[in-house]
Every structure is written in structure tokens, then in C-alpha cells.
Structure 1
Amino acid sequence: MAGADVQPAGPPTRRPSVERLQGQPLRARLRRALQQNTRVRLLWRALGENRKAADPGRSSPNGGAGRKCLDFACGTGRIANVAAGLFGEVVGADISRPMLDCAQVPPNVRLRHIDMTREPLGETFDVVTAFRFFLNAEDQLKSDALKAINEHLKDGGRLVCNVHMNATSPIGLVCRLLNRLSGRTIRHTLSTTAFKELLTASGFRVEEMTPYGYLPRPGNLLPGVCGALIEPFEKVSRTLRVPGQLAQHFLVVAKKR
């Protein structure tokens, strides 16, 4: 399949511009850029606050007008829209043409219909994001995707990704039990240890693993209640130093070796 540019369905609303954000501290830029999306905001907020707390002299993976970001397996462009407010240029790549056709992205985002595990984009990036991809991918696809991502990162570039079902969380343990009892995989899980080993074997050095999602999310049950409680539950869990292995998700920052 030859890679091809895709025309987005239309622009999103209320996107913060790079120029308006560049003069602000990183946390302020992230807060403004992500104020409309609670789940994504939690991911980036956890990343920024965790790295600052761990080492105040160390900066989070930073955007900038002269920096490029690739959103791998971008789908309808949710993460690409976030990155658009933090980077001068963003490329969203996905193998699914129907998903790309539904994407609404700003002018500094290019959409590409391409299988990057088989065909290179022909350009490199400062940061690659890959959200909600690795959990459900087959083992070979995980390895192939990480190899492609590594090859598309500049020297010292970073991968920012997440796993949305931590194997050691309460819901993750329930999923593993159901998988074992049924003799088949009902719901995929992935542990921080297993994913770190995979990243290391694929040419990355893991810099941070940030747990989030301490409030168990029972599928589509009580979505309104869960949505209202998720942020206060996060704050309480962090204040009480609840062990990270109990969080349902984790976010990873890994540097190309």
C-alpha cells in the first residue's frame, strides 16, 4: 500500500496555537491545550508533573515551533489535535482510511494513510506519540511498530505512549482471571515490567512510567459517575501515595538509544 496524504474532514474548534503557547511555561501550555479532554489532559498532566517532581532540572518532552511530532496510529486525530498546540508540525499516520476520513485537525497537522511497518514516511521526528495501540496489538506487530517508530525518531528523540489496561491493577487482575477461566483472551492486559522489557529490546531507554487511572472503570457502567469522580480520585490517590501498580493505566516516556 502506497502512503498517501489524506484531506481532513474539517478543522477542530478552539485549538490553542503554537505561537500563543510558546511564551508560557510548559505546564501552562499543557493545561490550556488539553482543557477540553479530561482523559488526554490527565495523561499529559501526569507526565509533566511527574517528571518535574522527579527532577526539577529535567524538562518534559517539549514542543516548539521548530519541532515535529508524529502521532502513530492516530485514528481520528484526538492526540494529533493535542500535539498541534505544542509542536510546529504534526503528522498523523494510520493504516485505517475510514478513521482518517473522520479526522478533524488544524492546518499544521498532515494526515498520512500508510502502514509504517512496511513503508517509511521519509522523514524523522523529535517526538512520536502512540496512544491506545500497544495493548491490543499482536506481539509481532508490537515489535514491528516499535522498530518503525525508532527508525522515524531523530537521535535522542522520545516516544510518548500509554497502556490502557495495566495487568496488575484491580480490573487487570479480573481480566486475567476471566481469560484463564474462559481459556481465551477476553481482554488484553500488559504489565509495566513486560512493556519495559519490550521497549528496551526495541532500542529505547525508558525514562518515566507514570501510573494513572486509579479509579476502576467498569466498562460502560455508570459513565457519568466515573467521569465526575476521575480527577478527584486521581488527586487523592497521589496524595495518599497509592502504589502505581494499582492504577489501571500507565504512560511511558522512552528515549531512543
Structure 2
Amino acid sequence: MYLTRFRLNAARPGARKLIASSQALHAAVMSSFPDLLPSAAGRPRVLWRLDRNAAAELLLYVVSPGRPDLTHLVEQAGWPAAAASGTPGWQTYGYAPFLDRLDKGGIWNFRLTANPVHSVRVRDGQPTKRTAHVTTQHQIEWLLGRQEVGGFRIQEKPQERRRTERGDLHQLVVRDQRSLEFRKTGSTGPVTIKTVTYDGRLEVTDADALRKVLTEGLGKAKAYGCGLMTLAPIST
């Protein structure tokens, strides 16, 4: 497995086009793997996430079973002149050594962009429909409900840091809520996906289960930049 980071040059029209369209960015990411055919059945999962840390700091993260070649992204949305002079256009790291170091009880900061949804039935007798969670509390509950199977536990805040006596329990922030709207082939109308980004702190409860989350993703809409969780040492 590999973890790749690529910084987009927000001043370039090609970068702005990719930022504006999850479909276009997904296609660009998948074009980084010459051995993966778009129509191949059972092809390995490639996860990606776009972090919008600031207007000029747009970072694309990719977790993949193979090493990507992002030359086309450098040319379209990066700094081609810098790359031509020897400055790497992206950084790719072997992911296995990090994954192997995960142990039960370890504490990490994490970031996750996800598509928190639930199934509802509007009328009796009708099939359920997948619907996005729209309130922060329900979005938090969606993630908390995946802790056990995901092999992690969101850390609680010390009592003195909680803003209210009953709420604000976890070391978790929900931010950057976005609605992605696009048309899929064969669809009669636009498709809308609601995404949110979680920043928080977790404890590893099952290292194998968490490794699966980190390499296979969490939740729906993985093709559209959702599901990729990354970890960072708490010192950062």
C-alpha cells in the first residue's frame, strides 16, 4: 500500500476545474494508475481526499495498492516548471511500515472526510431511501456508531474543557460541510452527495480493524473523495 500527497496550484485553471468537480478529480486520480482499467471488475480500491486547509493550500491525499504516477496532475494542476528542474511534484510513501506499527491503545489525531447517511422510509410499504444527515449532532452520532467495527474509539474531552454539562463530550470537530451535485450516466436527475470533514483524536481498540478502515475507507461515496481516514501523531 502507498500513501501519496499532492499539492494543487490553486492559481491554475486546471486545478480550479478539478477542485470544482469531484467527478473530474476522481477521473484524474484513477488515471494515475496505468494498470487499472476503468471497467475492470474487482479492481483494487483507491481512496482519495481533498483537504482545503486554506485558499492556497489544497492537498490531495491518495491511498492505493500501487504506486501512482501523477505527472499529468503536475502538468494540469501543479508546478510543471519546478518539477522539470528536479523538485518532486508529489510525495509517495510506503504505507505498510506505518500500518504495521499500529497497536491497541495507541492515541492518534485523525482526519476523515465522509458521507454520513442513513436509510429512511417515507411511507409504509415503500423501499427505504438513502438520506444524508444534515445536523452536526447526527453527523457525530453517525461516526460514533462506527467506532466498534472500525477498531477505534473517539477520545472524550476532560470535564473542564466541555462547553456544556451534557454535550460537547468528544474530542471531535465537524467542519467543511459541502454538497456535491452532478449527473451520473443512466440517472434521470442530478445526484447530490453531502460531505463533511471530521478532525479529532482516537484510541486504537482493534489494530486490524483500523488498518482495514485506513486502506478500504469508511462509509459511502468513496469514488467522490469520501471515506479516507488519515492519522497523525498527537504532537502535531
Q: Which has the higher helix share?
A: 1
TM-score, length basis structure 2: 0.33
TM-score, length basis structure 1: 0.31
Q: Which has the higher strand share?
A: 2
Indicate the structure (1 or 2) with the bigger Cα radius of gyration: 2
